[in-house]
């Protein structure tokens, strides 16, 4: 998909993050309803996805689809790994991530690239972090094969994505992908089975899986309440995104959509 279309899709997210002081582009995770701010929920989703994945001072972490760099920075602050490479498709987000990290002592290396063709050597990465990005990839299988290629033996892939058991229904909604609107983001959803079968076919072992739909819906509810507290009138530049996220919350609660967190590993040599 063209950069311009993806950038147009993420412009309202940028406006929302600027208005509310956020640095993540994800839906967040609320351990219980109304338990914190949306910023806290966005960080909580990162820890939840990482689960018990070991990241130490010698680790190389690759954040694929890093957005404006919030999660990469949080991972750097918490684990202080040797390096974080943060790959993002949209140039505007790469630049924003880079600028936002300017004040940091140590910063991730933000690079433009496509998840389906990772610009990294074989067996070079300890942990791949991929949060709420794969829904946009037309060829998710290539992405997972690429993950296997660049992971060191014994390395981990932590992948969080929106999935569905109702692929026909959402294939229809995919007609929006053909319209030149801010809702076109090339979304093509997989089911949990699609993921698990592809992990296995690519030689990756699923260690942990969580259906986080309700926790994510609770987080969205808190985030939407924060927007309402300021007044929807002041939400110029992201009002339509408010309704988009409100629909997402309802679909997650209804089970039509799911939010899944996978921790998988490449077998040790």
Ligand X SMILES: C[S@@+](CC[C@H](N)C(=O)[O-])C[C@H]1O[C@@H](n2cnc3c(N)ncnc32)[C@H](O)[C@@H]1O
Compare residues 74 and 214 and give the one whose CB is closer to ligand X.
Answer: 74
Alpha-carbon distance 161 to 136, whole Å?
A: 10
Q: Are 139 and 167 in contact (CB under 8 A)?
A: no
Compare residues 66 and 84 and give the one whose CB is closer to ligand X.
Answer: 66
Compare residues 62 and 87 and give the one whose CB is closer to ligand X.
Answer: 87
Least distance (Å) between residue 65 CB and ligand X:
3
| Nearest residue relative to ligand X (C-beta) | 67
Binding residues (CB under 6 A) for ligand X: these are 6, 10, 24-26, 64-67, 70-71, 87-90, 93, 114-116, 131-133, 136-137
| β 125-131/60-64 pair status | parallel
Least distance (Å) between residue 194 CB and ligand X:
17
Alpha-carbon distance 82 to 91, whole Å?
A: 25
Residues 6+ apart with CB under 8 A from 179: none
Least distance (Å) between residue 143 CB and ligand X:
8
Compare residues 2 and 32 and give the one whose CB is closer to ligand X.
Answer: 2
Least distance (Å) between residue 187 CB and ligand X:
10
> What SS3 class is residue 246?
helix
Alpha-carbon distance 42 to 37, whole Å?
A: 9
Count CB-CB contacts under 10 A for residue 170.
18
Strand partners, 77: none
Least distance (Å) between residue 144 CB and ligand X:
13
Compare residues 26 and 184 and give the one whose CB is closer to ligand X.
Answer: 26
């Amino acid at each position: 998909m063209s950069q311009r279309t993806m950038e147009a899709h993420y412009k309202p997210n940028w406006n929302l993050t600027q208005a509310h002081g956020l640095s993540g582009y994800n839906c967040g995770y609320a351990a219980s309803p109304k338990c914190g701010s949306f910023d806290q929920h966005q960080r909580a989703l990162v820890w939840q996805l990482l689960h018990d994945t070991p990241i130490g001072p010698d680790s190389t972490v690759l954040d694929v689809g890093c957005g404006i760099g919030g999660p990469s920075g949080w991972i750097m602050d918490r684990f202080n790994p040797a390096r974080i490479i943060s790959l993002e498709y949209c140039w505007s987000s790469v630049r924003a991530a880079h600028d936002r990290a300017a004040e940091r002592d140590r910063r991730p290396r933000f690079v433009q690239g496509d998840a389906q063709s990772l610009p990294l050597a074989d067996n070079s990465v300890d942990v791949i972090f991929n949060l709420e990005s794969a829904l946009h990839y037309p060829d998710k299988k290539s992405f997972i094969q690429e993950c296997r290629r660049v992971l060191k033996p014994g390395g981990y892939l932590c992948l969080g994505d929106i999935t569905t058991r109702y692929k026909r229904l959402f294939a229809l909604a995919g007609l929006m992908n053909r319209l030149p609107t801010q809702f076109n983001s090339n979304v093509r959803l997989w089911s949990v089975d699609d993921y698990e079968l592809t992990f296995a076919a690519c030689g990756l072992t699923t260690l942990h899986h969580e259906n986080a739909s309700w926790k994510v819906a609770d987080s969205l509810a808190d985030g939407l309440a924060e927007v309402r507290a300021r007044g929807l009138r002041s939400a110029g530049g992201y009002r339509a995104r408010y309704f988009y996220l409100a629909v997402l919350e309802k679909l997650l609660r209804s089970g039509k959509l799911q939010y899944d967190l996978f921790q998988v590993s490449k077998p040790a040599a």
